[in-house]
A and B are shown apart, each in its own frame.
Chain A
Amino acid sequence: MPYKILEKRELGDSDILFEMVLETPLIAKKARAGHFVLIRINETGERIPLTVADYDREKGTITIVFQVVGKTTKLLSHQNIGNEILDVIGPLGNAIHVEKIEDPIVIVGGGVGIAPCYPQAKELKEAGNKIITIMGARNTGLLFWREKMRAVSDELIICTDDGTEGIKGVVTEPLKDIIKREKVAYVIAIGPLIMMKFVALTTNGSGDLPKVKTYISLNTIMIDGTGMCGGCRYPTLDGQIFHACVDGPDVDGHTVDFDQLLKRATRFLEEEKICLDAYDHACQALEKYKEENM
């Protein structure tokens, strides 16, 4: 039962960020903020987790957003509207907890991590919460969904590392200002591991700022996504082992051992490069063939 690509858009101005709408009626019925799916593009493909960035129960679709980093994401970016993806499995992981809270909730999205922030902001906003969103990226070309995010936020702060849009600087700067400025219910941070690590360090109460509960979202290497393989296990600072797929993906950022996790993320760097190089090589060969023969 393959899954059809109904829409495909390039995001920002970077050539590496894409948004796809997939026809997955059963998953769309159950999808919630926090959920992810595993996809396998074709018979020889690997399984990678992607967060459900939006869903439409009526149309029976989910939206995924991805950044091209390796072979699988590159191959996915080469798929077009009407193409089919072999396997989409989900919804997996735990949906976020939604209730109305007095104090504002701060949502920090970094790079491609902005996408999973959207359904969380949307569901929390719909429940009547005050949402302050910080969107950050290296440069303006890597930013996307500004309007979508604005629509579900009471306040939207944009920052870029190079200052090409919004505040020049990293996301923790405006976050500090907000925490100094007012009482915050909790923080949700989704983005690169290093960004999440620094958000957690900002809010863990170790500096001059008060401690603020912080959820981060794990996007580890996974195979089955049901707790079976143990590949996505992550260490906590007190030496316990959890599974991102069934205990997460959203977890308490102050318990996570980020340094170990950063090392775990490098498990297959070599193999990823071999795969990507082989794919690039094949793509070039195909291009050349097309040029010569068509």
Chain B
Amino acid sequence: MVRSSPLLERLAENKEKILTIKKYSEEEYNKLIEDLTQAEEERIKVLEKIKETNSVDLQNLASELGIPEERVNYDVQYLKELGLLEPFGLVSKFYKSIENKNEIEGLFPNIAVIRDKKICSGCGLCASVCPTNSIHFENDALKIYDEVCIKCGLCYSGCPRSFFPKELKKIADNASADAKYLKQFNFYGEVFTAHTKDDAIKEVGQDGGIVTSLFKTSFEKDMVDAVLAVGVGMNAHEPLPLFVENEVDLLKTAGTRYANAHALRILHNGRKYKRLAIIGTACALEALQKISVYPLNKPFYDNITLKIGLFCMESFDYENILNIIHKEFPTRGVIDPYSIKKMDINKGRFYLYRDNNTSLELPLSKIKKYGRFGCFLCSDLTAGLCDISVGSIGSEPEWSTVITRSNKGTDLLQKSIDLNLVEKQPIEEDSKSFTSLSRIATSKLKLHEEIPRQVMKEQDPKERIQNFNEVPFGFTLEQAKLEAQRCMQCGNPLCVTGCPVKIDIPKFIRLIKQEKLSEAINHIKYFNLLPAICGRVCPQETQCEETCLLGAVDDPIAIGTLERFIADWEREGQTISCPECRDANGIKVGIIGSGPAGLTCAGELLMRGYDITVFEAFHAGGGVLVYGIPEFRLPKAIVKQEIETLKMIGGTIKYNMIIGKILTLDDLREMGFKAFFVGVGAGLPMFLRVPGLALNGVLTANEFLTRANLMKAYRFPEYDTPIKIGNEVCVIGGGNVAMDSARVALRLGAEKVYIVYRRSKKEMPARRAEYHHGKEEGIIFRFLTNPVEFIGDENGHVKQMKVIKMELGEPDDSGRRRPIPIEGSEYIIDVDTVIIAIGTRANPILTNSAPEIKLNKWGYIEADETGRTSVEDVWAGGDIVTGAATVISAMGAGKEAAEEIDEYLTQKYLGKEEN
């Protein structure tokens, strides 16, 4: 009995459409269905057995179903990626992260997912696999014609980047009997250095001309009918895949194209040949491996009889090849791409050989940033899934390194020697060449699959709600080094694009991996003066860790925790290094507000030699870092330390100075200040306009947290400032401030703490870690709920809160769906304390005293991206410009403004001679 599946149904429904497109003849279509039916039936059986036994025991499944364990494993992987094994605890992170899933359960999404996650390797297989020809590559961009796409998901299931079971990565099937195994090389027979002895090939071939020689041999010995090779298209160095049927055409395709050819996109056209040879880099070979296991290899692809692998560090989009030529050789005039005969990579350098017999070269590091993102995920330098691999690494110029893997490969190499086409010398495993090849191959290994994302140890939730000590303990050195090894060291790191201050993240992680800890911290400090703070309070999951490429396939690197680790390492070592400062120039700059924006701006200007005074309204520095963020999330000693560092490099900080009251900007100008940075934050609380606001027990998060944090009310009566919470506390809001308030309330002894938020969990702006911590600690979340009235007792103290349930409507200006009350859904929550944490707005004290500073309609200062305001000597940044935002974006603003202030003051007071 043939059991149907969503995939088979989809293909059956669209049979007519598929046949109209004529990629498949009816016969071929039937063959495909036949093959897929077998595979699908097997998977259905596996799935049903899993459901029946409620377990995913491979051995058991294999013996009960009579299917080899290896196959069962592949089926399980496939089902897991389809999201069908979620009830049994198996769900792929990758699948989970896909937003646009196929609307039909049990079908993969189309390949747009891979494209949008930027992890396409450019192999081109999907275009070939697509039964309706709806996938195309235009200027290296993968295009999908939605109107033709039948949403069968075959492209996704064949893609080497969508999922690729570990077991597929090392296939010993065709390996020769005496094959050895090294993780970085996969299975291999012997390693040689070789070069061609054929003059015609020497003229055009790359390095040793081995690939061309091997194919020539395979033609001469009648081993294959055609080779899928890459020639040159209409434009210079534009790659064009084509089938070569003879030696003469073969020579035209010799030489490496560094641009991505998506060669497999024409693979199906090779069905007319009985025996097809493929030359490809690791990704293309992985694609072929995958479709042979998840059978898409019939009817088109079962004719591949020879696979030659090419070493590959990374490939480039054609456009980026032109960028390299034009942008990276700037001082040498315009280079006509047509004048370039050949490109090559050797010994860490990139070479251009020109037709006038000159050559240009660059260190490889310069071109790394042009690499494809998909290439940064690749682990396989030497293209292990083939018969024989060839590349330049490990050999002298004019020679190639050759790794035999299968008997077929060994045989082919021997035949080419017999034909006197090739000359070889062994590379012994103890030789320098072998070591260097091995080292480079190892550097390309990605370890995230073996090393899970490291997690900080934390105080037990039951214990920690009794104290104000920090919750996580930070990484140990071992953990930090493990985590650092997970980093793929992308040539064009996406994480940096997510960082508001553009920290060179891969570099500091690399330095941690190498245990060069003081270099690592100094490197961070070059970009960010407050790493211990940012490591703790940045919303990494929406910044660097969101853009981390690894996040597309696995848990992203714990960048925030690594930053915290390295900053703590320095602080605990008591060897705080002073950033290098220019000589003092005596020019006075006033910084208003000692929050993250102000402190950063102060630090940057101090390093540039200015005489800096920071004016702080409170009796302690740090702004929101001390009055807002609780001790258990950011120990105050850390903030204090950062301020001490500023003092150490000559900064002055004056407390109890409310600028606009005790002194105005004009007073300060009279006192000789030449420029100002205003970073006074958005300190005023917003209130809900509901009855009962004046009741005792209803207070703002600002008041609650300021009492608890700045005034240390949690140590009352040792400290005089009181705080009152009662047993049942209700916090209104969904941000970090709400989370902080709720968790402080718990620690102060509240029995029940609610968070009432008018949107759903998904829209909550709080850091994910804070939500999880709060949840662990027992906070009760009431999502989609909003207060409508606070009800008091006879003494004017709140006793109950009337709330209404909400539902989400259309997205509003913030892009989040607008909450709408559900009529008649009101109910009562008993409370002793209500804490309102629904946001803040601008504090007008400073701006009232300096009306010449232009404000926007909400009272925030109008400033351009450099922080420049409508007043010549005043810059502003942080929440007073943007409204409530993050610590790191405030720091970014402080840093940006410091550069501009420096430029302004240098021009105005230091003259241009200073260079």
Chain B residue numbers with a CB within 8 Å of A81 are none
User: Is the beta-carbon distance between A275 and B717 smaller than 8 angstroms?
Assistant: yes
CA distance A235 to B694 in the complex (A): 6
CA distance A217 to B496 in the complex (A): 54
User: Is the beta-carbon distance between A266 and B795 smaller than 8 angstroms?
Assistant: yes
Residue of B nearest to A26 (CB): B662
User: Is the beta-carbon distance between B617 and A89 smaller than 8 angstroms?
Assistant: yes
User: Is the beta-carbon distance between B696 and A241 smaller than 8 angstroms?
Assistant: no
Least CB distance from A34 to B in Å reads 13
> Restricting to B678-710, which residues have a CB under 8 Å from any CB of A?
683-685, 687, 691, 693-694, 696, 699-700, 702-703, 706-707
Chain B residue numbers with a CB within 8 Å of A229 are 685, 700, 702-703, 706-707
User: Is the beta-carbon distance between A30 and B696 smaller than 8 angstroms?
Assistant: no
Task: Name 16 interchain pairs, CB-CB below 8 A, sorted by A.
Answer: A1-B654, A1-B655, A47-B711, A89-B619, A92-B661, A223-B707, A224-B706, A228-B843, A230-B685, A233-B693, A234-B694, A239-B691, A260-B694, A266-B696, A266-B796, A271-B722
- Which listed residue, A26, A44, A72, touches B663 by the CB 8 Å rule? A26
CA distance A89 to B662 in the complex (A): 8
> Restricting to A9-68, which residues have a CB under 8 Å from any CB of B?
26-27, 30, 40, 44-47
The 5 closest A-B pairs by CB, nearest first: A263-B796, A271-B722, A229-B703, A235-B694, A46-B720
Max chain A C-beta neighbours (<10 A), residue from B656, B684, B691, B844: B656
Contact with A along B356-392 (1 / 0, CB 8 A): 0000000000000000000000000000000000000
Judge whether A137 is part of the interface by a CB distance below 8 angstroms.
no
Chain B residue numbers with a CB within 8 Å of A110 are none
Residue of B nearest to A229 (CB): B703
User: Is the beta-carbon distance between B661 and A91 smaller than 8 angstroms?
Assistant: yes
- Which listed residue, B694, B716, B717, B720, touches A233 by the CB 8 Å rule? B694
* Contact A228-B683, Cβ < 8 Å, known A86-B619, A264-B796: yes
Residue of A nearest to B841 (CB): A227
Residue of A nearest to B840 (CB): A228
Chain A residue numbers with a CB within 8 Å of B656 are 1, 87-89
Judge whether B53 is part of the interface by a CB distance below 8 angstroms.
no
Judge whether A84 is part of the interface by a CB distance below 8 angstroms.
no
- Which listed residue, A46, A91, A230, A268, touches B711 by the CB 8 Å rule? A46
Judge whether B718 is part of the interface by a CB distance below 8 angstroms.
yes
User: Is the beta-carbon distance between A224 and B722 smaller than 8 angstroms?
Assistant: no
Judge whether A257 is part of the interface by a CB distance below 8 angstroms.
yes
Q: Besides the contacts A223-B706, A224-B617, what 15 more A-B pairs have beta carbons closer than 8 Å?
A: A1-B654, A44-B718, A45-B719, A46-B720, A87-B619, A88-B656, A223-B721, A226-B683, A228-B843, A229-B685, A229-B700, A229-B702, A229-B707, A231-B703, A267-B696
Residue of B nearest to A260 (CB): B694
Say whether chain A's binding surface is mostly helix, strand, loop, or mixed. Answer: mixed
Least CB distance from A156 to B in Å reads 33
Judge whether A119 is part of the interface by a CB distance below 8 angstroms.
no
Contact with B along A262-289 (1 / 0, CB 8 A): 0110111011101100100000000000
User: Is the beta-carbon distance between B720 and A227 smaller than 8 angstroms?
Assistant: no
Residue of B nearest to A41 (CB): B720
User: Is the beta-carbon distance between A228 and B717 smaller than 8 angstroms?
Assistant: no
Judge whether B457 is part of the interface by a CB distance below 8 angstroms.
no
Judge whether A71 is part of the interface by a CB distance below 8 angstroms.
yes
CA distance A268 to B716 in the complex (A): 12
Least CB distance from A33 to B in Å reads 15
CA distance A215 to B617 in the complex (A): 29
- Which listed residue, A246, A266, A271, touches B716 by the CB 8 Å rule? A271
- Which listed residue, A1, A46, A226, A270, touches B721 by the CB 8 Å rule? A46
User: Is the beta-carbon distance between B711 and A241 smaller than 8 angstroms?
Assistant: no
CA distance A1 to B693 in the complex (A): 38
Chain B residue numbers with a CB within 8 Å of A26 are 662-663
* Contact A224-B795, Cβ < 8 Å, known A1-B654, A230-B700: no
Residue of A nearest to B697 (CB): A267
Judge whether A90 is part of the interface by a CB distance below 8 angstroms.
yes
Least CB distance from B798 to A in Å reads 11
User: Is the beta-carbon distance between A87 and B845 smaller than 8 angstroms?
Assistant: no
User: Is the beta-carbon distance between B845 and A227 smaller than 8 angstroms?
Assistant: yes
User: Is the beta-carbon distance between A90 and B661 smaller than 8 angstroms?
Assistant: yes
User: Is the beta-carbon distance between A226 and B662 smaller than 8 angstroms?
Assistant: no
CA distance A106 to B619 in the complex (A): 39
Least CB distance from A220 to B in Å reads 11
- Which listed residue, B662, B711, B796, touches A90 by the CB 8 Å rule? B662
Least CB distance from B360 to A in Å reads 62
Chain B residue numbers with a CB within 8 Å of A92 are 658, 661
Least CB distance from A283 to B in Å reads 14
Chain B residue numbers with a CB within 8 Å of A87 are 619, 655-656
CA distance A46 to B619 in the complex (A): 12
* Contact A72-B706, Cβ < 8 Å, known A47-B711, A263-B696, A263-B796: no
* Contact A271-B654, Cβ < 8 Å, known A92-B661, A226-B617: no
Residue of A nearest to B845 (CB): A226
CA distance A88 to B707 in the complex (A): 18
Judge whether B640 is part of the interface by a CB distance below 8 angstroms.
no
CA distance A44 to B721 in the complex (A): 8
Residue of B nearest to A31 (CB): B662
CA distance A90 to B707 in the complex (A): 19
- Which listed residue, B691, B696, B721, touches A264 by the CB 8 Å rule? B696
User: Is the beta-carbon distance between A44 and B655 smaller than 8 angstroms?
Assistant: no
Judge whether B724 is part of the interface by a CB distance below 8 angstroms.
yes
CA distance A1 to B654 in the complex (A): 8
Max chain B C-beta neighbours (<10 A), residue from A229, A263, A268, A274: A229
User: Is the beta-carbon distance between B658 and A89 smaller than 8 angstroms?
Assistant: yes
Chain A residue numbers with a CB within 8 Å of B696 are 263-264, 266-267
Max chain A C-beta neighbours (<10 A), residue from B655, B702, B718, B721: B721
Residue of B nearest to A45 (CB): B720
User: Is the beta-carbon distance between A72 and B720 smaller than 8 angstroms?
Assistant: yes
Residue of B nearest to A236 (CB): B694
Chain A residue numbers with a CB within 8 Å of B712 are 44
Contact with A along B136-161 (1 / 0, CB 8 A): 00000000000000000000000000
Least CB distance from A223 to B in Å reads 5
Chain A residue numbers with a CB within 8 Å of B711 are 46-47, 223
Judge whether B618 is part of the interface by a CB distance below 8 angstroms.
yes
CA distance A272 to B843 in the complex (A): 30
CA distance A228 to B707 in the complex (A): 12
Residue of B nearest to A224 (CB): B706
CA distance A234 to B694 in the complex (A): 7
Least CB distance from B16 to A in Å reads 69
Max chain A C-beta neighbours (<10 A), residue from B661, B683, B699, B716: B661
- Which listed residue, A91, A233, A263, A274, touches B795 by the CB 8 Å rule? A263
* Contact A267-B724, Cβ < 8 Å, known A228-B683, A228-B685, A235-B694: yes
CA distance A246 to B841 in the complex (A): 15
Contact with A along B835-852 (1 / 0, CB 8 A): 000000001110000000
* Contact A226-B663, Cβ < 8 Å, known A267-B724, A271-B716: no
User: Is the beta-carbon distance between A228 and B722 smaller than 8 angstroms?
Assistant: no
User: Is the beta-carbon distance between A224 and B661 smaller than 8 angstroms?
Assistant: no
Contact with B along A170-185 (1 / 0, CB 8 A): 0000000000000000
Chain B residue numbers with a CB within 8 Å of A233 are 693-694
CA distance A269 to B210 in the complex (A): 91
User: Is the beta-carbon distance between A228 and B796 smaller than 8 angstroms?
Assistant: no
Least CB distance from A47 to B in Å reads 7
Chain A residue numbers with a CB within 8 Å of B722 are 46, 268, 271-272, 274-275
Chain B residue numbers with a CB within 8 Å of A267 are 696, 724
User: Is the beta-carbon distance between B717 and A274 smaller than 8 angstroms?
Assistant: yes
Chain B residue numbers with a CB within 8 Å of A239 are 691
Residue of B nearest to A233 (CB): B694
Residue of B nearest to A246 (CB): B845
Least CB distance from A131 to B in Å reads 28
Residue of B nearest to A232 (CB): B703
Least CB distance from B613 to A in Å reads 13
User: Is the beta-carbon distance between A275 and B699 smaller than 8 angstroms?
Assistant: no
> Restricting to B51-75, which residues have a CB under 8 Å from any CB of A?
none
CA distance A45 to B658 in the complex (A): 20
